[in-house]
Amino acid sequence: MIKKAPIVLTALCLLALTFAQLAVAQKPVAVAGNWVVTVRMPNGNVTQQWTLRQTGNNVSGTVKSPKGDLAIKGEMVSGVFLRASFKEGDVEHLIRATADKDAMDGSVTIGRSEYLWSAKRSQ
């Protein structure tokens, strides 16, 4: 009698490997362009203008702030997750967001506080 368990296990391993390769090969969402960003703060929303550039998974650009343009740098992880940061003075802003074609949403950690964050691509 042939044991089917090793055959089924081998087939499942091959299937998992195929899906893992597809996930790694996924092209990152294109986030290059101009964005209107809204941070939901306790005292009301704060709106910012971001200009992003992208080469593959690497993302860089500028955040317009009352203190001038701030450099932002980050990367796309697994094709759809933006991980980035910028400093305003000595305060670091850590961005975590899920990107779709013309929208992003997630959170920003400023110092020890975390706030909801969203962005829409501007025309």
Which amino acid, residue 55? T
The per-residue pLDDT for range 104-117, each reduced to its tens digit, is 999 999 999 999 99
Percent of residues, the chain, with pLDDT higher than 90:
71
The closest alpha carbon to 95, from 121, 68, 76, 123, belongs to 76
The per-residue pLDDT for range 26-39, each reduced to its tens digit, is 688 999 999 999 99
pLDDT for 5 equals 62
What is the set of domains in the chain, with CATH numbers? 33-121 (2.40.128.120)
Sign of the CA dihedral 8, 12, 17, 19?
A: positive
Binned at pLDDT 50, 70 and 90, residue 123 comes out as confident
In the 8-state DSSP scheme, what is residue 26?
P
pLDDT for 2 equals 54
